A = this chain, B = another copy of it.
Amino acid sequence: MALQSEATCDSRAAAQGPSRVYDHPCKACAVRVAGICAPLEPRELERLSAIASRARLAAEKVVFCEGDPADTVFAVTEGTVRLSKMLLDGRRQITGFLSPGGFLGIAYSDTYSYSAEAVTSLALCRFPRRQLEGLIVELPGLERRLLSMAFDEIKAAQDQMVLLGCKSAEEKLATFLWRWCLKAGRRERSDCIVDLPMNRTDIADFLGLTTETVSRTFSRFAKDGILALPTTHGVILRRPERLEEMASGEF
């Protein structure tokens, strides 16, 4: 499973002052993965660090594939990961994007039930699954945190089902941009500047549309003055409130 923490990836643990954690190769990781480390005592954090190793991955590389033996769990510390499932004929559904703090690959299953790829270049923490499961038994805070993250992921999945099942192309893209604006938007007066690390095909496969429809909808939004597209990955939301309206928010 892929767990995305809503916590920001500030250097929380840095406030704990010097400790043995600092000598460990996972220092940087321990500092950043607020998602899972947040509720841990320093001693517990050290236990987690002890089983972790770090890895870097170039953009578009595969973290793991659906069906692979699931022997490693990952935490994202830098970059964006794309999670997807494929049909036999190659049609793809992206089930989510993970940012720093996100957690992926955990499940009570012997194989991964989805694929994970690097959208941008990545920094990851790796946890051997066996050892992490052992730690979960020992550290109740860790299990509680996982359960909380799992619930958040279920909620996000339900919102995505509403998007996929109920919304029009325009509403889908508006929802997508509005979410990204809330999560990672940089405000500048009434504008919201958003960087979309993924390409149009990724957006299309996330929203259940084609690239052409995504592109057309972007163009229409730009023509209507709702946003500007200085580059394909850089979007300036000129009227974020219009997007929020168009998103037809749930409840």
Contact = CB atoms under 8 A, between A and B. Distances in A.
Interface stretch (A14-22, A47-55, A152-160): A152-160
Nearest to A92: B166
A206 to B, nearest CB: 8
Nearest to A106: B151
B91 A251 contact: no
Contacts of A250: 85-88
A147 B148 contact: no
A143 B249 CA distance: 32
A155 B165 CA distance: 18
Given A93-B162, A166-B93, A208-B165, A151 B108 contact: yes
A222 interface: no
A1 interface: yes
A162 B113 contact: no
Given A248-B87, A250-B87, A251-B66, A150 B161 contact: no
Interface residues of A, number: 49
A62 interface: no
Nearest to A158: B95
Contacts of A85: 158-159, 161-162, 250-251
Contacts of A86: 250-251
B157 A158 contact: yes
Nearest to A115: B251
A127 interface: no
A151 B151 contact: no
A7 interface: no
Contact of A154 (B93, B157, B208): B157
A18 B164 CA distance: 50
21 contacts: A1-B151, A1-B155, A66-B251, A85-B159, A85-B250, A87-B166, A87-B249, A88-B249, A91-B248, A93-B161, A93-B165, A106-B151, A107-B155, A109-B151, A150-B154, A154-B157, A157-B158, A160-B161, A161-B161, A165-B207, A166-B208
Given A108-B151, A165-B205, 5 more contacts: A87-B166, A108-B148, A153-B154, A154-B157, A164-B164
